[in-house]
Amino acid sequence: MIFKGHVFDPSLTYFAQFMWGANYASTLLDAWIGKTLDGGWSVKAGKFRTPFSRDMLVGYTHQLAVDRPLMGYYFCIGRSQGLQAKYQGDNCRFTAATFEAFEPIGGLPDLGQWNSTYDSIAFAARCDWLVSGSWSDVQSYTAFSPSETAVLLGGAVAYATANQSLYDAPGPQQHDFRSTADATINFDGGSLAASVVMAHLSENPRNRPRERDTVWGLNVQGAIFLSDDVQAYSRYQWADSQFSGDDDLSIVQLGINYYIHGQNVKWTTDIGYSFNQISATYFTMVQAPANATSAGISNGGSNFTGWTEDGGDGQWLIRSQLQLSF
């Protein structure tokens, strides 16, 4: 449930978003106020999606598949409370924010777990370059006959440090550095998108054997309209395993979108296959936040993506979703 609008004049805006999870508990996802300034600048304060991964910044209702890629949840830095400044011109958009800590919905839990660290600092900055087209043409992963081919290139960096965890003994200062790059092409009748992300973690407070301090992820997806209302799409996602004994993430998906009334009423169905075993590493807090444990370990809550932890060599997943947005 979303509440948004302006107060006093159109330049002073607000946005609040609530979610109800599988246990019927409500979660406040976003709550911020913003001010539009002259020259393309704007600022906002409160709780918001941090400017990092495009997979996470594209809204739920504008995704290509039923949900965002599991790889995106694994690497994202989530929402946090802080201050953000943004500049948007005709072809360039720059966003920078400083906030409390990384608060990921999923994955890479060593640093900045939501509600579990203190004495921490974090910041993120993202730059988008609109090569062609208009900003409205690239707000989603679906191209509804744009006036011209829209090409968007983007990149971001993020850094967090935490001195101590509330649930661990005092230890060395921990550093978490992440970077990402992405490209989106929306053309008449189809779209292509790809993103790559890297995360480097300097410390391992959980003391679980790790294969590497630096991990990578990749997501590639494309779509084509079969008719005015029916769209076929595919996606492949891959991610490094962080811990010893875990397989790399490797998932392929195929799906169909039926646009009954644009993005407002959309029926999405897809089928996916995981080539490798999916370990618990990829499901850290990938669930309704009110259901997540403070230690960041999946406790059997309803996860967003539908993929589940398994002990086998592969996994099939079939999902179908009717979206009503108004």
pLDDT digits (tens, 9 = 90+) for 99-118: 887 775 544 443 334 344 44
Residue with tokens 């410390």: 203
Residue 323 and residue 24: Cα distance in Å, rounded?
Answer: 19
- Of 203, 126, 198, 125, nearest to 162 by C-alpha is 203
Residue 290 to residue 282: CA distance in whole angstroms: 18
Mean of the per-residue pLDDT values of the chain: 81
Whole-number pLDDT of residue 119? 53
Residue 271 has pLDDT above 70, yes or no: yes
d(CA 303, CA 287): 4
Ranges 98-107, 200-209, 255-264, 312-321, most confident? 255-264
pLDDT, position 20: 75
Beta bridge partners of 321: 268
Q: What are phi and psi of 266, to 5 degrees?
A: -140, 135
Element (H, E) at 9: strand 9-20
Tokens of 118: 């203190």
Phi, psi of 294 (to 5 degrees): -65, -30
- How far apart are alpha carbons 80 and 24 in whole angstroms? 23
Which pLDDT value is given to residue 75? Answer: 85
Share of the chain above pLDDT 90, in %: 43
Average pLDDT over residues 133-142: 87
Identity of the amino acid at 217: G
Residues recorded for the chain: 326
Is residue 185 within 8 A of residue 153, CB to CB? The reply is: no
Sign of CA dihedral 78, 83, 89, 94: negative
pLDDT level of residue 24 (50, 70, 90 thresholds):
low
- 109 DSSP assignment: T
Whether 242 contacts 221, CB under 8 Å: no
Q: Cα–Cα distance between 80 and 284 in angstroms, integer? A: 17
Q: What is the pLDDT of residue 23?
A: 60
Instruction: Give the domain 2-324 fold.
Output: Porin (2.40.160)
Average pLDDT over residues 266-277: 94
Residue 70: which of 317, 304, 309, 314 has the closest Cα? Answer: 304
Structure tokens at 141: 């992963």
Contact between residue 282 and residue 98 where contact means Cβ atoms under 8 Å apart: no
User: According to the model, what pLDDT value does residue 290 have?
Assistant: 33
Residue 267 pLDDT class (50, 70, 90 cuts): very high
Question: CA-to-CA distance for 217 and 241, rounded, in angstroms?
Answer: 10
At residue 214, the pLDDT reads 84
Most confident of 204-213, 226-235, 242-251: 226-235
pLDDT tens-digit series, residues 161-172? 765 444 444 555
| Rounded CA separation 273/252 (Å) | 6
Mean pLDDT confidence for 213-225? 91
The DSSP symbol for 53 reads: -
DSSP state of 188: T
The SS3 assignment for 286 reads coil
pLDDT tens-digit profile of 233-252? Answer: 999 999 887 776 778 889 99
Given a contact cutoff of 8 angstroms between Cβ atoms, the answer to whether 105 and 75 are in contact is no
| Predicted local distance difference test score (pLDDT) of residue 245 | 72
pTM score, whole prediction: 0.82
Show the beta-strand stretches assigned E in 37-113.
41-49, 79-88, 92-99
Give the span between the Cα atoms of 126 and 110, in whole angstroms: 23
Q: What pLDDT does 165 receive?
A: 47
Q: Count other Cβ atoms within 10 Å, centred on residue 312.
A: 9
Q: Are 155 and 197 in contact (CB under 8 A)?
A: no
| Model confidence band, residue 60 (pLDDT cutoffs 50, 70, 90) | confident
Residue 279 has pLDDT above 70, yes or no: yes
pLDDT of residue 283: 64
3-state secondary structure of 116: coil
